[in-house]
Amino acid sequence: MRAFVGTCFVGSFAFDAEGKVIDKELFPKKIEVIVEKMKKSRAGEVLPEEEKIIQRLAKKGIMEIVWDKKAEVSGVSCIYKKDNLAVEALQNQFRKLAMDSRWASSQAEINEILSKVQIELTKKELKKEKKDFMIMRVIGIIDELDKTLNTLSELLREWYGLHFPELSKEIGSNERFVELIAKHGNRENIEEKGLKKLAEKSSGMPLSDDDVRGLQDFSRTMVTLFDEKKRLTKYLETITKETIPNLSATAGPILAARLLALAGGLDKISKLPSSTIQLLGAEKALFRHLRGEGKAPKYGVLFGHGHVQNAPKELKGKIARAIASKLTLAARFDRFSDKDKGEELRKELEEQIKKLKSEKD
């Protein structure tokens, strides 16, 4: 004998091959409980109610159980089938089941409960979507700050280069360069080992007190901007890990945020094929290629992923493809379930990349 198990907002039910209810576990009529149960069920989790039904069916000798979850219940072989008799029966008969089981006393009561459940489920989805918009705005601000700081740093290097041109060649980090000027101003005040001798032999022009004040005031403003960028980056990492944990673990929080912004949100990125995710950020290069003006790009912002950065040149495209494939799964887990499979996806990706590298060798 075959049984079909499914869940709706009334509870979990088992049906025989003719669609007759042969077992059930009803949910309590508490909106918050029903919402939590439905949320878990939609995420593919096995509910205690479903497990109880399956165990009881097994004790009756019914070992062939069909349901819409890719999950196992200890000691019982369950067959996954997304569209099955239970799903159809629950969609068409949930009102009758609620009334027959005396879970509800009227159609009006069913309508009221169903309406409240749907509102709460929608609220949860909207909250999640609003959070992903927050991520998109913050990464946008960080990127703009980055561009601004790079531009201002170049201008400051030119300005301070009139006084101490050797410093620009010696200090590559913009942040470190700015901090030195903010702290010391005049080259004669620099005490750092190695820089003091350079300052003494510098070919630059001397500065007046007004010049030094102007340079230091401007540099201190830039130091504040660098600090603000760090604070925003830390904040972004926190909300990214909370909101899109799977994407964050697979791509890294900053790259995950950038991919989210390029795609236009969590809902949109979850619907993209891996080939599109692979090329996010490379749209201009792709259009040039389509016009016959260049080679097809192998990756967009995925170039910033550590595995792509560290890969041999001939493997960068394949590794970007492998990462994009995992990111597709990660985005769908983040959008359609509450499961955090990030660590699992990350380890699978590392194994896949290790295999690609070993095949090359």
Residue 56: strand, helix, or coil = helix
pLDDT tens per residue, range 259-295: 999 999 998 999 999 999 999 998 888 888 788 887 8
* CATH classification at residue 315: 1.10.246.90
Give how many domains the chain has, as a whole number. 3
Residue 67 located in a structural domain:
yes
**Residues in a beta bridge with 73:** 76
Taking 70 as the pLDDT cut, the residues of the chain under it are 125-129, 360-361
Residue 180 located in a structural domain:
yes
Q: Are residues 224 and 252 in the same domain?
A: no
Q: What stretches of the chain show up as alpha helix (H) in DSSP? A: 31-42, 48-59, 85-100, 107-161, 165-170, 174-184, 195-200, 209-243, 245-251, 253-263, 266-269, 274-278, 283-290, 306-309, 316-336, 342-360
What is the model's pLDDT at position 162? 95
- Rounded to whole angstroms, the Cα distance separating 279 from 263 reads 11
Q: Residue 232 contacts by C-beta under 8 Å, 6 or more apart in sequence?
A: 138, 141, 142, 145
What is the model's pLDDT at position 159? 96
Give whole-number Cα distances, 156 to 149, 164, 178, in Å: 10, 11, 8
Residue 81 located in a structural domain:
yes
What is the model's pLDDT at position 296? 82
Q: Are residues 265 and 286 in the same domain?
A: yes
What is the model's pLDDT at position 82? 82
What is the model's pLDDT at position 81? 86
Angle between helices 209-243 and 107-161 (to 10 degrees): 150
Note down the domain range covering 208.
135-238
